[in-house]
C-alpha cells in the first residue's frame, strides 16, 4: 500500500506542461476556434493564395496580415482539400487569389480592408451559403448512423457476427449445411437422410 501511494506522489510531481498554452495566441489552436469560421469554400475553388507584406509600417496590409494570422488556420481546417499558399513581400498591395476548377482566377484586392471585411467578402463570393451548410450538416448526420456496419467505411462494427447473441462468423464456426444456399440449390433438400 505504501509503495503504491509513493508511486502516485511521484506521478503527480512529474506533471507534463500543457501543450495548449504554447506559442503566440494559442486560442487559434483550439478545435472550437478552428470550427468557428463561416467560410466553407465552394467545390470549384481549388487553390487560395494570399499575397501580403510583413512590414508593420505598411498599414494597408494589416487586414491581410490579420487574416493570415487569425483566419487562415480556420479556413484550412474547414477546407482540408484546398491548397492554401501565402506569398510575403512580393507586391506593394495585398490581394487574395482563388483558382477555380476551370482554370479561371478570382482576384480580391484587399488593400486597407480589415480581416473581418475580407472574411465576409470571401464568404459572399466563394463561400457556401449558411442554408447550404445547414443542409449538408443534416445530410452528414444521416450518414454517421451507428447502426451501420463496415469498419472500412468508418463505422464501429465490421459485421453482425461480432455481436453477442448473433450467428458466429463462419470463419470460426461453420454454418449448418441446411442453412446454406448452396445446399438448398444443389438439391440436397430433396435427399432423404
C-alpha 109/C-alpha 184 separation (Å) is 73
Q: Which residues, in sequence order, are bridge partners of residue 41?
A: 127
Q: Does residue number 93 form part of the binding site for other proteins (CB under 8 A)?
A: yes
Contact 67, 117 (CB under 8 A): no
Q: Residue from 34, 106, 123, 161 that binds other proteins (CB under 8 A)?
A: 34
Q: Residue from 6, 44, 92, 124 that binds other proteins (CB under 8 A)?
A: 92
Strand ranges (E), the chain: 45-52, 83-88, 95-100, 105-109
Nearer to other proteins, 95 or 149 (CB): 95
Task: Give the angle 178-179-180 at the CA atoms, nearest 5°.
Answer: 95
Q: Residue from 39, 99, 119, 127 that binds other proteins (CB under 8 A)?
A: 99
C-alpha 193/C-alpha 190 separation (Å) is 9
**Interacting stretch for other proteins, rule CB under 8 A, among 6-14, 94-102, 127-135, 165-173?**
94-102
Site residues for other proteins per CB under 8 A: 19, 23, 28-31, 34, 47, 49, 53, 55, 58, 73, 76-77, 80, 83-85, 87, 89-93, 95, 97, 99, 103, 107, 109
Amino acid at each position: 500500500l505504501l509503495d503504491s501511494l509513493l508511486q502516485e506522489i511521484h506521478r503527480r510531481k512529474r506533471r507534463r506542461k500543457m501543450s495548449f498554452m504554447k506559442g503566440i495566441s494559442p486560442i487559434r489552436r483550439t478545435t472550437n476556434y478552428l470550427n468557428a469560421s463561416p467560410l466553407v469554400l465552394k467545390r470549384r475553388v481549388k487553390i487560395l493564395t494570399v499575397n501580403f507584406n510583413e512590414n508593420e509600417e505598411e498599414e494597408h496590409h494589416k487586414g491581410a496580415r490579420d487574416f493570415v494570422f487569425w483566419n487562415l488556420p480556420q479556413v484550412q481546417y474547414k477546407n482540408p482539400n484546398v491548397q492554401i499558399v501565402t506569398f510575403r513581400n512580393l507586391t506593394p498591395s495585398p490581394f487574395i487569389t482563388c483558382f477555380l476548377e476551370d482554370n479561371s482566377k478570382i482576384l480580391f484586392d484587399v488593400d486597407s480592408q480589415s480581416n473581418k471585411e475580407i472574411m465576409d467578402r470571401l464568404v459572399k463570393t466563394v463561400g457556401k451559403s449558411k442554408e447550404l451548410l445547414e443542409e449538408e450538416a443534416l445530410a452528414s448526420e444521416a450518414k454517421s448512423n451507428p447502426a451501420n456496419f463496415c469498419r472500412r467505411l468508418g463505422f464501429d462494427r465490421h459485421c453482425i457476427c461480432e455481436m453477442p447473441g448473433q450467428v458466429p462468423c463462419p470463419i470460426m464456426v461453420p454454418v449448418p449445411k441446411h442453412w446454406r444456399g448452396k445446399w438448398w440449390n444443389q438439391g440436397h433438400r430433396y435427399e432423404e437422410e
